[in-house]
Structures are given as C-alpha cells and as structure tokens.
Amino acid sequence: MKKYLAELFGTFVLVFFGCGTAVVCGGFTGGTGAGFLGVAVIALAFGLAIVAAAYAIGHVSGCHVNPAVSLAMLISGKMSVKDFIGYVIGQLAGAFAGSALIAFVVSSSATLSGTGANGYDALSGVGLNMAGAIVVEIILTFVFVMTILGVTSAKSTSHMAGVVIGLTLTFVHIIGIPLTGTSVNPARSLAPAVFAGGDALAQVWVFILAPLAGSALAAIAFKYLFPFKEEA
C-alpha cells in the first residue's frame, strides 16, 4: 500500500506542477497560448516535477507516476500484475487530485482558464491531425520509456536516474507541447481531459492508447532488440 500511495503522491506532483504551469503560462492549445519561452518553462516544469518526485518516492515505488511506465515494467517482468493494477489506481487517483486542485485554483482566479489537457486538430498548437498525434505520442513515449529502462537497468547509472528521466521528459515536451501538449502518460492526460470536458475529453483516447502502445514497443525493443547485461 505504501508503494501505491507513493505513486499517488508522485503523480499528483507531476500533474499539479506540470499541467498547472501550463495553465499559468496561458496553455498550449489552439495556437493562441504560450510562446516559445512558455513552452520551455512548461517543459522544464514537467521535468523538474519528475526529478522532485523521483528523489522523494523513488526509494518506495520506483516513481513510475505513469501507467505507460508501469506497463513497460510489467512487460519487462519487473513487476507483478497485482502491483501494476495498484500502481495504475494510485497514479489515476493522484492525477485526479492534481487536476482537481488546478480546477480549484482556476475557479478562484479572475484570469486563469483551462486544465492543461492534450489535444489535436483545433486543440493542437500547430493544428496537428489525429494521425499525426498518434504517431507523435507513440514516438515520444517510446524514447521516454527506452531511456527509463536503460538508465534504471545498470547500478552504475541508477543513482542518476531521477535527473536523466527528468531531463528526458523535458526534452520530449519541448517538441511535443506545440504538437499535442505532450502526453506520454495516460494518467496525466485523462484527469485534465475529464475536468476540461468537450473536445479534450472526446480526444483523450488517443492520449491513453498511443502512450501505452509506445511503451509496449519500447519494452519489447529493449528486451529483445537491445538487451542489456551489466558487467559483473
């Protein structure tokens, strides 16, 4: 149960500070929100949130804070089905708690709006269509999860995993924010979409299925195409 609660806390931190920064910076959908500086700030907020969460709860749960990461660990044989279910429940609960707090802050402000939801077509900063959004999210998640599997597989690099993973999340957000808002995380996408409703909620299936597909491909590739064996 401590692991599941840790995932709840970590995902709350990611969603509140990541999506919350997007809201404060003016959002990133429809091409009318954050500019280049805003994109950089939002990307950094997501990355720093992961770094903070990793060093706060990494020793308890491994700090997945993302159903796509947990799926990769399940496929890789690094966690049980029971723990996978518990992790995902905790992650979803944390994401909804973070989004609820963002919604409260927005409702308490005279100028803020939005929830940091993902989107395509009119909800994409560059008008990316559905097919483009699917491909982008699969690729971004593939790279993100491959990095996680690589840096956590060796004792020589595991101590710096939090920083490496945080920087990689920042990296994928820099290009992904103008395209889809960057999901790579079904929990991070579902909760803001539910609070946003409308088109964001209608489109959220893309940001659930595409990251899961990218994660599964990364886990399979890492296991069979790029197997890692640490030297004794």
Question: In this predicted structure, what is the pLDDT of residue 48?
Answer: 96
CB 215 within 8 Å of CB 68: yes
In tens, the pLDDT along 55-80 reads: 999 899 989 999 999 999 999 999 99
The one-letter amino acid at 85 = I
Model confidence band, residue 32 (pLDDT cutoffs 50, 70, 90): very low
> Within a domain: residue 146?
yes
Average pLDDT, the chain: 91
What DSSP letter does each residue of 13-74 carry, written as one string?
HHIIIIIHHHHHTT-SSTTSS--HHHHHHHHHHHHHHHHHHHHHHHHHH----SHHHHHHHH
Look at residue 225 and tell me whether its pLDDT is greater than 90: no
Q: Is 188 part of any domain? A: yes
Assign residue 102 the CATH number of its domain: 1.20.1080.10
Pairwise CA distance, residues 137 & 217, whole Å: 12
Are the beta carbons of 139 and 214 closer than 8 angstroms? yes
CA 199/CA 151 separation, integer angstroms: 37
Number of domains the chain contains: 1
Residue 49: inside a domain: yes
**Residues of the domain holding 71:** 2-225
What does 99-118 look like in DSSP terms, one character per residue?
A: HHHHHHHHHT-SS-------
Q: Is residue 202 part of a domain?
A: yes
- In the prediction, which pLDDT does 155 show? 75
Q: Does the residue 116 lie in any domain?
A: yes
- Beta carbons within 10 angstroms of residue 131's beta carbon: 10
Q: 0.85 exceeded by the pTM?
A: yes
232 within some domain: no
Q: Evaluate whether residue 71 is within a structural domain.
A: yes
Q: How confident is the model at residue 44 (pLDDT cuts 50, 70, 90)?
A: very high
Highest mean pLDDT among 22-31, 32-41, 201-210: 201-210
**Residue among 135, 133, 141, 139 nearest 117 (CA):** 133
